[in-house]
Amino acid sequence: MNPIHALPSYLEPEGVGSWGVFLQQVDRATSTLGELAYLVETLKRPKRILIVDIPIKLDDGRVAHFEGYRVQHNTSRGPGKGGVRFHQDVCLSEVMALAGWMSIKNAVIGVPFGGAKGGVRVDPRQLSEPELERLTRRYTSEIGIVIGPDKDIPAPDVNTNEKIMAWMMDTYSMMHGATSTAVVTGKPLSLGGSRGRRDATGRGVFVCGRTAAAKIGLPIAGARVCVQGFGNVGNAAARCFAEAGAKLIAVQTVEGTLHNPAGIDVAKLGAHQDARRPLGEFAGATLIPDAAFWEIESEFLIPAALENQVTAANAGRIRTRVLLEGANGPTTPEADDLLAANGIVVVPDVIANAGGVTVSYFEWVQDISSYFWTEEEVNGRLDKIMSDAFNGLWEAAAAARVTLRTAAFTLACRRILEARHLRGLYP
C-alpha cells in the first residue's frame, strides 16, 4: 500500500470483523468508479470517531462505567444518520462498519443524509429502568457535541426504542435550552414521531421482496418465508408477507428455532413473545436444531438479527429463492459468492432494510416543518421511494452483469464521491 494512504492501525482490514467486510465490499466496487476512484480512500476512513466513558450511579449506590461510541462515517451528502444500539458485544469495528453501511444505504435510497452509528457496550437486561435512563442521558450528554438536527441524527437500533429516543431528545433539548424534536427519530408520536415508523424497516423488507419476486416471476401468495430474528424488523416483515398471502414456516431467535411447514400464526407468535413466554412453549410450531434453520426450503429467507449470520459455513446449505437482508451486514463476502453461484437472489441490506431510514427521513422533515402526515401518506411514499430505488438498482445490476450488492455499492459510492468531488477540500 502506498504509505501516503496507509490506514491507521485501528482501520486495518486484516482479520475478521464487520469493518473488514465493509472494506471488502468497497474494494469490489472500486474498479467501477472511473474518474472518482481517486477519492475512494474517503470511504475507508470515517470522518469522525468519538469514544466516550459513561459513568452512572447504580441503584445500589455503586458507580459503573460503560464505553460508548458515535461514528460519523461520511457527511458529504448531508447530516449523519444512523441508529444507536445497546448490546454487550458492541465494539468500535462494528460501529464503524454500521456507519459505513448507513452512508451506502442513504445514498442508494436517495435520502439526503450521510452515514453515522452509535452504540454502548452494555447488556441492558442487567439494568433497571432508572439505571437505563441514567445511562441513556449520560451517553447523550457525552456525544452531544457531535449530534444535532443539522449535524447527526440518531435513531433506535438493537435494544433501543421509542422511550430511549425520548430520553435522548429531552437530554439534548435541556442541554440547548429549547425543545429539539428533530435531533433524533423513532420517537413516540406525542413527541414528534412519525406514523408508520415502527414497522417501516420490516415493511421496506417486504416491498423489496415483493418487487424482486415480480422480477423473477415468483408469486407471493403461498410463498414460504423463514425469518431469523423476530424483533421489530422480523415481526413486521412476517406480518406484511402474511397479509399478502405468504406463510411463515420458520422463525429463529436467541431462544431457539421454530418450524411448522403448514405455517406459523404471526399474530399469535407476536403475542406469545410480548407476554415474555419461553419460545418452547409456543403451541403453533415445533422446536428444531438451530443449524437446521438454514436448510429449510423456502421462497424467501430473511436474516433480521445481527451481522455475519450467513457465512461460507452455511451458505452452501441454504435453499431459498430470495434472501432479503433485514439485518445490517448479515452476509459475508464469501457467502455472497456462494449464494450467487447457487442462483439465489440476494437483496442487500443497504436497500432491503432502508425502509427505517426512509421513514426516519420523513420524521425529520415533519419535525422541521411541524406538519405531520397520515400513516397512509407515510406508507405510500415509502412504497414509492423503495420500489423506484429497487427497480433502478435491478436495472443497473442487469446492465453491468453484477450482483445487486455490487450494483448498490457502485451506485452509492459514486453518489457519495461525486458530492465529495464537487465540494472539494477545505481548507
Annotated catalytic, 117? yes
Distant-in-sequence, close-in-space partners of 36: CB < 8 Å, separation ≥ 6: 413, 414, 417, 418, 421
Backbone φ and ψ for 306, nearest 5 degrees, come out as -125, -175
Q: What cell does 182 get?
A: 428533530
Q: What cell does 97 get?
A: 462498519
Distant-in-sequence, close-in-space partners of 27: CB < 8 Å, separation ≥ 6: none
Cα–Cα nearest to 95, from 75, 121, 76, 77: 121
Largest CA distance in the chain: 65
Q: For cell 413486521, what's the residue?
A: 236
Cα–Cα nearest to 77, from 115, 39, 43, 25: 115
Pairing outcome for strands 63-74 and 114-121: antiparallel
CA-to-CA separations, 95 to 58, 78, 137, 231, 398, in angstroms, rounded: 26, 19, 20, 20, 32
Of all residues in the chain, what percent are helix, strand and coil, respectively (each to 5)?
50, 20, 35
Per the residue annotation, which of 44, 81, 105, 117 is the catalytic one?
117
Dist. CA 336–CA 215, nearest whole Å: 20
Q: What cell does 391 get?
A: 427497480
Dist. CA 144–CA 140, nearest whole Å: 6
Q: What is the DSSP secondary structure assignment for residue 147, as one 8-state letter?
A: -
> Bridge partners of 85?
119
Dist. CA 163–CA 121, nearest whole Å: 19
Distant-in-sequence, close-in-space partners of 373: CB < 8 Å, separation ≥ 6: 194, 195, 362, 366, 381
Dist. CA 384–CA 268, nearest whole Å: 31
Catalytic residues: 117
